[in-house]
Amino acid sequence: MPSPALSLRWPRWLLVYLLALGLVAGPAYTMYVHYDFSHSLDTRSYLRMARGEFEGVNITRRYRVLVPAAAAVVAWPLEQVYAHMWPQRAASEWPLRLGFYAVNSLLMAAVGLLLFRTCLLYGASPTAAALAVAAVLTSRWAVYMSGLPLVDSLYLLVFALAFYGARSNSEVAVAAALVLGFQAKESAVFLVPWLWVYGRTALRWPGQLGWLAAGGGAALAVRFWIDNRLGAPPAASLQNALAHFENLTYSIQRLFSVKGAGEIFSIFGFFSLLLLVGLRSQAARRQWLPLLGWRGGWLVLIVAVHMLLSGDLGRMGYLAAPVFVVAVAVILTQDPLFSWLSEPGLVAEQPGAHR
């Protein structure tokens, strides 16, 4: 039986999870209902993969099978309901889209819970941690990843697991990040060295290598199965990976343009201004930058590599959410400008105060 202390924690974490789910599920529902899929190759590819159709799917996306498979499992009972209530929709993509919406919203809520717990580990108050998580989960990219047939929610979960595991010394979190990384996206290869350095206190290198072999072996098995089914040469995957380096020039030019600056700002929107508050003086910087240290700095650099290689600055930049949320939470906790957040409620007014 679980200890009383452990059992008492579950309602608290469940509440945080449900609050995170509420933050993403509502706005994402509008995205799920009204999004125009005609111009989105990504979403159409993952819908096809969920139906078991890999022919014609871009090689960059066709091995990311976990989220599409989970969406297909969720969609099957939904199709039975649709067949009775909306017969005209049962044979359409609506049940499958709903499956993606459900799976991605649940994954994003798990990200929210991990981010909240990470903020507490860095010394943030619960109120500040909740506000910081809300800032991240109300980003346009959170709505995008939750409401559409995409796999970014799982990859963001991998980053959240890695950052949480390194700070909490959680062997389970680090192992999960290693196992799920290559299943989520191939670019997880850039996260592995970071885990070797900053996750070794939670899970030493022999253990990390074992879990990495398990995750990598599963990813290779999926690749072999799909390539064998399509008759695709294995070398095509390597050629496709190297082709991403051609995006560097485009990404750098875009990054230093007005449009690129706007795209970077839009990742977290006006909540990004809180970082400026935390950078306004040397005293303010000392309150949170040393806490993040090289661990946070190197993770942001890894995110920057993702941004430059993909050409999608905004969506890849959102992977920095674990570092951003801690920075915002600590600033809200430590900076004197926000001391009112930790003050008790206003003293009740005396009777007759409004006479």
pTM of the predicted protein model: 0.89
Give the C-alpha distances (Å, rounded to integers) separating 307 from 22, 42, 248, 302, 303.
29, 17, 9, 9, 6
65-120 confidence digits (pLDDT tens): 999 999 999 988 877 776 666 665 555 677 889 999 999 999 999 999 999 999 99
With 60 as the cut, is the pLDDT of residue 347 above it? Answer: no
Domain ranges (residues) in the chain = 13-339
Higher pLDDT, 352 or 167: 167
With 60 as the cut, is the pLDDT of residue 306 above it? Answer: yes
Higher pLDDT, 131 or 284: 131
196-239 confidence digits (pLDDT tens): 999 999 999 899 999 999 999 999 999 888 988 887 776 666 56
Higher pLDDT, 242 or 186: 186
The total number of residues written for the chain in this structure: 355
With 60 as the cut, is the pLDDT of residue 3 above it? Answer: no
Give CA–CA dist 310/200, Å, rounded: 29
307-337 confidence digits (pLDDT tens): 998 878 888 999 999 999 999 999 999 988 8
Q: Which two tokens stand for residue 285?
A: 């910087």
With 90 as the cut, is the pLDDT of residue 284 above it? Answer: no
Spell out the residues 6+ positions from residue 128 whose beta carbon is closer than 8 angstroms to its own: 119, 328, 329, 330, 332, 333, 338, 341
With 60 as the cut, is the pLDDT of residue 349 above it? Answer: no
Predicted pLDDT at 241: 58
Q: Considering the chain, what percentage of its residues have pLDDT values greater than 90?
A: 57
Predicted pLDDT at 219: 92
Give CA–CA dist 57/50, Å, rounded: 12
The segment with the largest mean pLDDT, out of 95-99, 281-285, 294-298, 308-312, is: 294-298
With 80 as the cut, is the pLDDT of residue 242 above it? Answer: no
Predicted pLDDT at 250: 75
**Can you say whether the dihedral through the CA atoms of 117, 119, 124, 129 is positive or negative?**
negative
Predicted pLDDT at 108: 97
Q: Which two tokens stand for residue 354?
A: 């409004």
Predicted pLDDT at 69: 95
